[in-house]
Amino acid sequence: MKELLNYINGEWLKSDKPFIKVSPVNGREIATVYEADKAMVDLAVQKAKEAFEGEWGQVTLQERCRLLRNVADIMERRSEELMLAESTDVGVPYPAARMLNVGRSAFAFRMYADEVANMFEQSHQFTPPNGGHALHYTMRRAKGVVGAISPWNVPLLLLVFKVAPALAMGNCVIAKPSEVTPQSATLLAEIIEEAGFPAGVFNLVHGFGANSAGAFLTENPDVAAFGFTGDTSTGEIIMRSAAKGVRNVCLELGGKNAGIVFADADLDKAVAGTLRSAFTNCGQICYSTERMYVERPIFDEFVKRLGNAVGNMKIGSPEEDGVQMGPLVSHHHRDKVKSMIDEALKDGATFVTGGRIPQFNDEKDNGAFIQPVVAIGLPESASFVRNEVFGPVCHIAPFDTEEEVVKLANNTKYGLASSIWTQNFSKAHRVSSKIRAGNIWINDWQLRDIRTPMGGLGASGVGAQGGRESLEFFSDLINVTARID
Ligand code: NAD
């Protein structure tokens, strides 16, 4: 069985607290992971600090860019290994793992090399009241040691979105991947080592959240900022922890995203788009649309078509040809999703399709599979409509007016994403300007360009990830004023 170790100051370290990673596809044990204790996390921070105060603190922009590009090249060379790690950890089908997780991660390292090389600063000329001239100019400087804490749903990419900009700006990084999906982060550490980053610049600690590596990292006062993606309740804990010492956080949190289909939409595209938006990665994408609102004249037709499409989805092992959906990430998560599905039934939902645990009569019956659900008939107050399920579920409700659907979509504490389907661009633009969400797609979903900032409003987060915003987050802004007589 694979052994996944911590990577601290260029060394691979075991601990005396191993735990087992189980396959969501068939329940088999696939790796032993060594949980970092407090002393190991503190050692990682100490060594990162020494690296930052040493040579890495003086490293040139050109050298950082060269190293980032090396990482991208090696990721591409080792892409099948990364894809397999990601797919066996999450259960995501191979094509999606290749495209969504691995391809974009390599691109992100290269993109951040370009982005940081082209970063420009501000300057302002000024005439002081007492005469002469002044020139103000800004500088962006690395923060020092920063933390990257990532979730299990798209493990590699969501870690890379933090690590690549943090390294690009010249920081030293402590990465803490999800305990549920530790494999690709371990490969990333190997790749960063192979790329030539000096010891201590990138460190990896495995473990859990509370009373484990996650909490030990956020409690260490020498970590200047945290890039975090995960649950809203965890974001609140991390924010509280970071408040001590007034340290910065960028939080990408949960959502309960609404999709809106107007009667004039291209129905084929809206159905195909919703199939993607609600069921990609088994619904375990923060941007997933778990709530659809469909204009009444096309409601029945939309429900019928989406129900048929979802009912015909091929569920199975990630490596099987034509498989559209794998299992949920873990048995623990399936229990949570199943209980929310059962509660929806009790609350009066009608299931157009799905909701049961499928039977395969092979080893997949030991996996964490669930049939994808299309549901109708629930009131807006039902837990299934209000709370993030983070599984393959979609509740569809009818609406009659633009004003009504805007209210319905905004009736949530979250503000992460929305998709609007209409052929009337004026309407799309008008509605977009009223939806309270950080990311809005018109006639598409998850059309992502990682040069653009993506963040959440309300309980969906603080700050944005992507492009220049991430470089700014992982740096301090200094203003210098020079008097020129
Ligand atoms: P989680 O909050 O349980 O865990 C995320 C990470 O935080 C893990 O590495 C975990 O070990 C760590 N952690 C947990 N408790 C901690 C603590 N007390 N201190 C420090 N670290 C701690 O989230 P998850 O279940 O892995 O991921 C699913 C959630 O992530 C969903 O709510 C989803 O919506 C959200 N998500 C959001 C985005 C986004 O961009 N907004 C993207 C993906 C996932």
Q: Is the pLDDT of residue 485 over 90?
A: no
In this prediction, residue 102 carries a pLDDT of 86
Residues in the chain: 485
**Nearest Cα to Cα of residue 380 among 285, 256, 233:** 256
Give kind and range of the element (H or E) at residue 173: strand 172-176
Q: Take atom 34 of ligand 1 and give the residue whose Cα is closest.
A: 254
Encode pLDDT of 215-269 as tens digits: 999 999 999 999 999 999 999 999 999 999 999 999 999 999 999 999 999 999 9
Ligand 1, from 19, 100, 229: best to mutate by most atoms within 8 Å of Cβ? Answer: 229
| Distance in Å, CA 129 to ligand 1 centroid | 52
In this prediction, residue 109 carries a pLDDT of 98
Q: Are residues 233 and 303 in the same domain?
A: no
Q: Take atom 43 of ligand 1 and give the residue whose Cα is closest.
A: 286
Q: Are residues 170 and 44 in the same domain?
A: yes
Q: Are residues 238 and 320 in the same domain?
A: no
Q: Which whole number is the average pLDDT over 434-454? A: 95
- Is 282 considered catalytic here? no
Q: Which whole number is the average pLDDT over 43-61? A: 97
Ligand 1, from 178, 237, 288, 414: best to mutate by most atoms within 8 Å of Cβ? Answer: 178
At CA 215, angle to CA 211 and CA 221, rounded to 5?
130
Q: Are residues 433 and 466 in the same domain?
A: no
Instruction: Confirm whether 443 is domain-assigned.
Output: yes
CA distance 320 to 297: 39
- Is 469 considered catalytic here? no
Instruction: Confirm whether 110 is domain-assigned.
Output: yes
Contacts of 243 by beta carbon, 8 Å cutoff, 6+ apart: none
Distance, C-alpha 96 to centroid of its chain: 15
Q: Which whole number is the average pLDDT over 35-48? A: 98
DSSP string, 56-117: GGG--HHHHHHHHHHHHHHHHHTHHHHHHHHHHHH---HHHIIIIIIIHHHHHHHHHHHHHH
Q: Take atom 19 of ligand 1 and give the residue whose Cα is closest.
A: 215
CA distance 63 to 70: 11
Answer whether 418's CB lies under 8 Å from 260's CB: yes
Q: Ligand 1 in contact with 151 (CB < 6 A)?
A: yes
Q: Residues 191, 67, 471, 460: what is their CA dihedral angle, to the nearest 10 degrees?
A: -10
Q: Are residues 91 and 174 in the same domain?
A: yes
Q: Are residues 220 and 146 in the same domain?
A: yes
Instruction: Confirm whether 455 is domain-assigned.
Output: no
The catalytic residue among 65, 250, 286, 394 is 286
Q: Which atom of ligand 1 sits closest to the CA of residue 454?
A: 40
**Count of domains forming the chain:** 2
In this prediction, residue 144 carries a pLDDT of 98
In this prediction, residue 38 carries a pLDDT of 98
Tokens of 313: 């989805």
Tokens of 10: 């260029």
Q: Is the pLDDT of residue 100 over 90?
A: no
What is the overall mean pLDDT for the chain?
A: 97
CA distance 171 to 191: 18
Encode pLDDT of 362-413 as tens digits: 999 999 999 999 999 999 999 999 999 999 999 999 999 999 999 999 999 9
Ligand 1, from 35, 153, 158, 240: best to mutate by most atoms within 8 Å of Cβ? Answer: 153
Q: Are residues 210 and 63 in the same domain?
A: yes
**Nearest Cα to Cα of residue 406 among 394, 396, 418:** 418
Q: Are residues 278 and 204 in the same domain?
A: no
Diameter of the chain measured on Cα atoms: 86
| Distance in Å, CA 228 to ligand 1 centroid | 7
**pTM given for the model:** 0.97
**Region class of 149: left (phi > 0), else alpha (psi between -120 and 50), else beta:** beta
Instruction: Confirm whether 179 is domain-assigned.
Output: yes
Q: Take atom 21 of ligand 1 and give the residue whose Cα is closest.
A: 214
φ and ψ of 111, to 5 deg: -60, -40
In this prediction, residue 99 carries a pLDDT of 83
CATH number at residue 202: 3.40.605.10
| Distance in Å, CA 154 to ligand 1 centroid | 11
Domain range for 383: 257-450
Q: Are residues 307 and 343 in the same domain?
A: yes
Answer whether 417's CB lies under 8 Å from 439's CB: yes
Q: Which whole number is the average pLDDT over 352-366? A: 97
Q: Are residues 414 and 332 in the same domain?
A: yes
* HSE-CB of 250 using CA atoms within 13 angstroms: 29
Q: Which whole number is the average pLDDT over 117-140? A: 94
| Distance in Å, CA 437 to ligand 1 centroid | 19
Contacts of 183 by beta carbon, 8 Å cutoff, 6+ apart: 2, 4, 21, 31, 85, 86, 88, 89, 155
| Distance in Å, CA 254 to ligand 1 centroid | 9
Q: Are residues 183 and 270 in the same domain?
A: no
φ and ψ of 127, to 5 deg: -110, 105
CA distance 423 to 443: 8
Q: Ligand 1 in contact with 35 (CB < 6 A)?
A: no
Encode pLDDT of 54-96 as tens digits: 999 999 999 999 999 999 999 999 999 999 999 999 999 999 9
Q: Ligand 1 in contact with 212 (CB < 6 A)?
A: no
Tokens of 115: 């982005």
Q: Take atom 30 of ligand 1 and give the residue whose Cα is closest.
A: 230
CATH number at residue 306: 3.40.309.10
Cα torsion 342, 345, 349, 353: sign: positive
CA distance 51 to 113: 21
In this prediction, residue 101 carries a pLDDT of 79
Q: Is the pLDDT of residue 103 over 90?
A: no
Burial 352-369 (b: 16+ CB within 10 A, else e): bbbbeeeeeeeebebbbb
CA distance 205 to 269: 43
Q: Are residues 272 and 213 in the same domain?
A: no
Ligand 1, from 101, 234, 393, 446: best to mutate by most atoms within 8 Å of Cβ? Answer: 234
Instruction: Confirm whether 234 is domain-assigned.
Output: yes
Tokens of 473: 């987050």
